[in-house]
Amino acid sequence: MREAFQILESQGFVVREPRKGISVAKITPQEAEDIYRIRAGIEGLALSLAVQKQTPELLKKLKNLNAQMVQASEKKNGKTYNNLNQKFHELIVSACGNQRLAQLIRSFDKQTMRYRLAIVSSPGWMTNSTKIHAALIAAFEAGDADAAERIRKNSILGQIRQFSEIFKNGGEG
C-alpha cells in the first residue's frame, strides 16, 4: 500500500502532509493550463507522425471508430463515446511509430485523466469532438501531417478555456 501511495504521489495524484496523512491533490488553473500545453505538443507530434506513416488499414479503422462515435453522440451515450474516443486516439498513438513518444503519451494520459473527465462531461463536448475527428480523418486522407498536428493541438488548447470556466464555477482547485 505504501508503494502505491508513493507512485500516486510521484505522479501528482495525492499529497502527503505531516500529521494529516494523504489526500487527493488539488489542481490549480495554472497547473491545468501547463499540463494541457504539454499534452497538446506531444499529441500533436504523434498525430503528425501517424499521418506520415499511415496505412489504408489505419484509415479504415479510424473511419469505423468515428462512425461509431457519431452514433454514440447522436444517442447521447457518453460512456460509449468516451470508450470509442480513447480507442481512436490510442490507435493514432500506436501508429505514430515512435515508441518513446507513445510511452510518454500513455503515461501522461494517466496523469491527466481526472482533468479530462471534467471536460468530457461538459455540454456539447461530443458534438464538437465528432467535428474534430472528422477534420482529423480528412487530414489523414489528404496526407497532411501539418494540418493533423494543428487540429489536435488546437483542440487540446481549446480545452484550457473550458478549464477556466470550471474553476470560475467552483470546480476543482
d(CA 142, CA 6): 46
pLDDT at 1: 76
Domain membership flag for residue 24: no
- How many domains is the chain built from? 1
pLDDT for res 11 = 66
pLDDT for res 24 = 72
pLDDT at 157 over 50: yes
- The reply to whether 23 falls in a domain is no
CATH number at residue 129: 1.20.120.530
Q: Which domain holds residue 108?
A: 30-168
Q: What is the pTM of this model?
A: 0.81
